A and B are shown apart, each in its own frame.
Chain A
Amino acid sequence: MTVMEAPAPSRRAFLAGAGGLVIAVALPVKSRGQSGEERIFGGGDASNIKYAPNAFVRISPDNTVTILIKHIEFGQGPFTGLATLVADEMDADWSQIRAEHAPANAELYGNIMFGGMQGTGGSTAMAASFDVMRKAGAAAKAMLVAAAAESWGVPASEISVSKGVLSHSSGKSGSFGEFAEAAAAQEAPAEPTLKTPDQWIYIGKDVPKLDTGMKSTGEAQFTLDIYREGMLTVVVAHPVKFGATVASFDDKAAREVPGVVDVKKISSGVAIYAKNTFAALKARKALKVEWDESAAETRSTDEIAAERRDAVKSRGAVAGENGTVDDSAFADAANSIEAEYIFPYLVHAPMEPLDAVVERKEDGGVEVWMGSQIQTMDKATIAEACNVEPEKVTLNTVLAGGSFGRRAQSDAHFAREAAEVFMAAGGETPVKLMWTREDDIQGGYYRPLMVHRMRGAVNDAGDIAAWEHVIAGQSFVANSPFEGMLQGGVDATMVEGASETPYALPNYNTSAHIINNPVTTLWWRSVGHTHTGYAVETFIDELLEKAGKDPVEGRLALMTAPKHQRLANVLKRVNAMAGGMEAPEGRARGVAAVESFRSYVAEIAEVSMEDGLPRVHKVWCAVDCGIPVNPEIIKAQMEGGIGYGLSAILFNELTLDEGGAVTQSNFHDYRSLRISEMPDVEVEIIASNEPPTGVGEPGLPPIGPAVANAVRRLSGATPRNLPMIKSLQA
């Protein structure tokens, strides 16, 4: 991956923004070195990144303070979260704070945890912004104070700031808006002094979210809501088999649909251009396409799974090991367990299917609106596909209706399709490309189908004497710009959470096989932890049971390493919250604890069986994500991760029929958790002074195994062939 070289830091910059002045503060930040995240997200040599992204604070004469947010807002709360950091350091009044997406510009807005690319994912937004955004706020405040000092002829040190008002003991006072212009002419402090935690006014307290209002009135603008003058709506007929291409098509009937303007072949299918959405959809139904399936995946998911089940019979490339693990350790069947887990393909199915708007700019460049999650990749791809210089591409990041990983496309396939659609029709008419739910469900980029085989042995003393874990599946980082995550034949995203467990296992061996096929795959909320968390946390639970140990005490006794104490702590806390593992008659409780993305989460689920399926009544959740910047957002993310994970673990699988065609097509056969199936959730956040870490993903990994462990207590067996509806009702 190319590492973006940041420009020399300018201490001061002025940009005439719409309706006000922009204070652009460039702040040097030390590279974090090769931390775990950088190995995962940094790919190449992250030590080359010398400067963090600039943080922008726009103070307008009307006294509003707009924070430019470098991370896309699709529900995880960066608008409010990052604005909280700036507002706190500025001592702004929360009511004057606004947030909007920053432009696509990696030099200014690169993610230090993405090797400098601008992008969002891996629950990095808060971790990568905590220092930068606070410094930007502190610098902006210092500049406002300096401007007021100059104008009032008093020492800066005598000026105090509270709730967006600058004041001096002489009685002079003024708003941020009044001093915006003069402040922009001040020198930005190189190392602005940050508040100490006891001085925080918003961090750790709850502020009203900035986007709640507009999301309750219909005002919030998503990409689908953008209409440009003369714009055509475009849908694309895609193949239902992965790797198939257009052989020929007959568009006679499609063109006869009133409102249809054009039909064009593009690399991913056949595009229909129409004056309105209904005409485009109607014409797509009337279109006849012959597909060339010579390079397509024609196997069913059962056949794909069989291949992986075969692979896990022997070890793959070593991902983690300790001591010795050989067959003899498992020879005594009475004391050992062997288990095979099958995790299906999963669709992200964000509520807003993928969409983008593209139009030609007056300067010959192109302007794009989309829910871009890796702006650097999308922008470069659009430039290439539209044959313009990257500087001539204006990429506007728009609020998006969820992502869960779906918009973080390492191959920028959607930006490419949008650009191709635009160019195929002549490259002048504005277009809106929209995917329907069918395109979304059948369009690939799934959580890969993974197979795990595990063996474990308990000795007479009740200790886990041996642990073997073999994983097989696709690698979506292979041959992608994130190839750096592939080391020694092991894809870090495939084995995270399994290559090393929180448990002291004197003899363990974890290995993985990469087996690729034409079904496209991608990170899905919490990535490898979606399957490794389930496998590890259900397997340890069974082994502890075999050893006659309590699931909580047994785990704690194995979490001996100092680095696992924060995990041990959330486990203790959740146990206290739930009042232990005892459940009322007819119900059972299951527990799981997973560290992911440097956050620590433990959950206990209380479950009963209804019509052969688990009904989850209540979930207790304890989370340690460092300094809790916005406690309510953290809680909401835990609730959301639990609900999203539950949907998958109970109901979801994407299958390919005999012949390779996708079976499911919409929410009727790829169903979602509904409100009536959502458990009551109680969340507690551990107080902490550690730097904040992410919350978008870490709530998810423990829910599946917590429910599975409860199910085992009720039904006698761990569901290992997922989703549960399949193994329990089979």
Chain B
Amino acid sequence: MSISFKVNNEQRTLDVDPDTPLLWVLRDDLRLTGTKFGCGIAQCGACTVHVNGQPRRACVTPVSTLDGASVTTIEGLEGPQADAVREAWAEYDTPQCGYCQSGQIMTAAALLSRNPKPSDEDIDKALAGNICKCATYVRIRKAVKSAGEKLGG
């Protein structure tokens, strides 16, 4: 089945099994490997991307549902929120192993887009779906707050 959608602002037309989760299309077909596999069942958030600007679990999103959609991955994440998040991530040297961090950053950037001045509670709520086995949570919390402040929230 041929499916056509935008990935990081580029139009892509692919002929794949329609049940294929977006995660594997991104990785295997488009070689956008920044989006990670952690569980495959929407439990860890390592595969978080934006679909039409909203955070989405790529591992449980069949590619067939995306016809005409616009997908953004960590590789294509840009704009003031993205810059602020990455800057804050550097400020706190947040990543350890780094494997969950694409997902954390995608979720954090989406949070800041709708709530530029999140409280600790807002941050905990928005990011509760993103597991970090290295438990970089203390720094994620500080970094998201700092990014919010820099955005003038």
Binding site for B on A (CB under 8 A): 74-77, 208-209, 211-222, 224-225, 227, 233, 258-259, 276-279, 281-282, 349-353, 399-402, 404, 434, 436-437, 632-633, 636, 639-644, 646-647, 666-668, 672-676, 678, 680-681
Q: Is B123 an interface residue (CB 8 A)?
A: yes
Given contacts A218-B102, A401-B98, contact A258 B17 (CB under 8 A): yes
A640 touches B134 (CB 8 A): yes
Smallest CB separation, A102 vs chain B (Å): 19
Judging by beta carbons under 8 Å apart, are A401 and B97 in contact?
A: yes
14 contacts between A and B (CB under 8 A): A75-B134, A213-B90, A220-B98, A222-B36, A258-B17, A278-B20, A401-B97, A402-B134, A404-B133, A644-B135, A646-B135, A672-B133, A676-B128, A678-B137
The 3 closest A-B pairs by CB, nearest first: A218-B34, A643-B135, A401-B99
B131 lies within 8 A of A351 (CB): yes
**Chain B's interface: helix, strand, loop or mixed, by majority?**
loop
B101, chain A: closest CB distance, angstroms: 5
A594 to B19, CA, bound (A): 51
**Bound CA span A276–B31, Å:** 12
- Contact: B133 with A225, CB < 8 Å? no
- Whether A437 contacts B38 by the Cβ 8 Å rule is yes
* Complexed CA–CA distance, A673 and B21 (Å): 26
| Residue B105 lies at the interface, judged by CB distance under 8 Å to chain A | yes
Asked if B13 is an interface residue, CB under 8 A from chain A, the answer is no
Please tell me if the beta carbons of B33 and A216 are within 8 angstroms of each other in the complex: no
Binding site for A on B (CB under 8 A): 17, 19-21, 24, 27-29, 31-41, 43-44, 46, 73-75, 85-86, 89-90, 93-102, 105, 123-125, 127-141
A219–B17 CA distance with the chains assembled, in angstroms: 27
CB-based contact B98/A215 at 8 Å: yes
Q: A75 to B39, Cβ gap below 8 A? A: no
Contact across chains for B136 and A636 when beta carbons are under 8 A apart:
yes
Task: Please give, as numbers and ranges, the residues of chain A lying within 8 Å of B97 by CB-CB distance.
Answer: 74-75, 350-352, 399-402
Partner of B136, one of A214, A220, A437, A640: A640
In contact, B139 and A668 (Cβ under 8 angstroms): no
What A residues does B123 contact at CB under 8 A? 675
> Which residue of the partner chain B has the closest CB to A441?
B39
**Chain B min CB distance to A8 (Å):** 38
Check B34 against A219 for contact (C-beta < 8 Å).
yes
Partner of A218, one of B74, B89, B132, B141: B74
Q: Which of A74, A258, A673 contacts B135 (CB 8 A)?
A: A673
Taking CB atoms, residues of chain A closer than 8 Å to B137 are 639, 643, 673-675, 678
Name B130's contact: one of A258, A636, A675 (CB within 8 Å): A675
Chain A min CB distance to B59 (Å) = 10
A678 and B99 within 8 A (CB): no
- Which B residues touch A642, using CB under 8 A? 135
Point out the residues of chain B lying under 8 angstroms from A75, CB to CB: 95-98, 134
- Given A74-B97, A220-B98, are A276 and B29 also a contact pair (CB < 8 Å)? yes
The answer to whether A276 touches B24 (Cβ under 8 A) is yes
Which of A277, A434, A641, A646 has the most chain B CB atoms inside 10 A of its CB? A277
- A646 and B38 CA atoms in complex are apart in Å by 20
Chain A residues lying within 8 Å of B96, measured Cβ to Cβ, are: 75-77, 402, 636, 640
Interface pair A212/B43, CB less than 8 Å apart: no
Of the candidates A208, A211, A349, A675, the one having the most CB atoms from chain B within 10 angstroms of its own CB is A675
Say yes or no: A351 contacts B43, CB within 8 Å: no
If A216-B85, A351-B44 are given as contacts, then 9 extra A-B residue pairs at C-beta distance below 8 Å, sorted by A number, are A216-B86, A277-B28, A399-B97, A402-B99, A640-B136, A643-B135, A646-B135, A667-B43, A681-B138
Bound-state Cα–Cα, A596 to B32, Å: 41
Selected contact of A215 from candidates B38, B40, B101, B138, CB within 8 Å: B101
Given contacts A212-B93, A668-B43, A678 and B135 within 8 Å (CB-CB): yes
Complex Cα distance, B20 from A276, in Å, reads 10
Q: Check if A437 sits within 8 Å of B39, measured CB to CB.
A: yes
Write out the residue numbers on chain A whose beta carbons fall within 8 Å of the beta carbon of B133.
Answer: 349-351, 402, 404, 644, 672
Q: Which of B33, B41, B86, B90 contacts A224 (CB 8 A)?
A: B33
CB–CB B75/A666 < 8 A? no
* Cα(A275)–Cα(B31), bound, Å: 14
- A644-B134 contact given A216-B90, A401-B97, A636-B96, CB 8 Å threshold: yes
Q: Does A675 contact B124, Cβ atoms closer than 8 Å?
A: yes
How many angstroms between the C-alpha atoms of A729 and B73 in the bound complex? 41
- Give the nearest-CB partner of B103 in chain A: A351
Is A666 touching B29 in the complex (CB atoms < 8 A)? Answer: no
Residues of B within 8 A of A224 (CB): 27, 33, 36-37
Q: Which A residues are CB-close (under 8 A) to B21? A: 278
- Contact partner, B46, options A351, A644, A674, Cβ 8 Å: A351
Known contacts: A75-B96, A400-B97, A676-B124. The answer to whether A277 contacts B90 by CB under 8 A is no
**Shortest Cβ distance from A348 into B: residue:** B133
Q: Is the CB of B24 within 8 A of A277?
A: yes
Evaluate contact between A399 and B43: CB separation under 8 angstroms.
no
**Interfacial chain B residues near A640, Cβ < 8 Å:** 96, 134-136
Closest A residue to B131 using CB positions: A672
Distance to closest chain A CB from B71 (angstroms): 14
Residues of B within 8 A of A76 (CB): 96
The answer, among A214, A215, A636, for a CB contact under 8 Å with B139, is A636
- From B31, B32, B35, B101, give the contact of A216 (CB < 8 A): B101
> Measured between alpha carbons, how far is A404 from B135 in the docked complex, in Å?
12
Q: A436-B40, A675-B140 are in contact. Are A212 and B94 (CB under 8 A)?
A: yes
Known: A75-B134, A639-B136, A675-B130. Contact between A218 and B40, CB under 8 A?
no
A647 neighbours in B (Cβ, 8 Å)? 135
Q: Does the CB pair A667–B131 fall under 8 Å?
A: yes
User: For A215, A633, A640, A667, which residue has the most chain B Cβ atoms within 10 angstroms?
Assistant: A215
CB distance from A636 to the nearest CB of B (A): 6
Q: Are A233 and B28 interface neighbours, CB within 8 A?
A: yes
When distances are taken between beta carbons in the complex, the residues of chain B under 8 Å from A216 are 85-86, 89-90, 94-95, 101, 105
B136 touches A212 (CB 8 A): no
User: Which residue of the partner chain B has the closest CB to A371?
Assistant: B97
**Contact call B131/A668, Cβ cutoff below 8 A:** no
A667-B95 CB under 8 A given contacts A75-B134, A233-B28, A643-B135: no
Complex CA gap A215/B85 in Å reads 13
Taking the closest CB of chain B, its distance from the CB of A633, in whole angstroms, is 8
Measured CB to CB, the nearest residue on chain A to B21 is A278
Contact B24 A227 (CB under 8 A): no
Min CB distance, B111 to chain A, in Å?
Answer: 12
Instruction: Evaluate contact between B74 and A276: CB separation under 8 angstroms.
Output: no
- The docked-state distance in angstroms from the alpha carbon of A434 to that of B135 is 24
CB proximity of A97 to chain B, nearest CB, Å: 15
Contacts of A639 in B (CB 8 A): 135-139
CA distance A644 to B134 in the complex (A): 7
Q: What is the CB-to-nearest-CB distance from B93 to chain A, in angstroms, rounded to a whole number?
A: 5
Q: By CB atoms of chain B within 10 A, which of A77, A349, A666, A674 has the most?
A: A674
Contacts of B94 on A, CB cut-off 8 Å?
212, 216
Bound state CA distance, A217 and B43, in angstroms?
22
Q: Which A-chain residue is minimally distant from B133 (CB atoms)?
A: A351
> Which residues of A sit under 8 angstroms from B129, Cβ to Cβ?
674
| Distance to closest chain B CB from A403 (angstroms) | 8
Chain A residues near B136 (CB, 8 Å)?
636, 639-640
How many Å lie between the Cα of A632 and that of B136 in the bound state?
12
Q: Which of A208, A227, A633 contacts B90 (CB 8 A)?
A: A208
**Residues of chain A with a CB closer than 8 A to B32's CB:** 218
Contact between chains at B141 and A675 (CB < 8 Å): yes
B131–A678 contact, CB under 8 A?
Answer: no
Of A278, A633, A668, A680, the residue contacting B17 (CB under 8 A) is A278
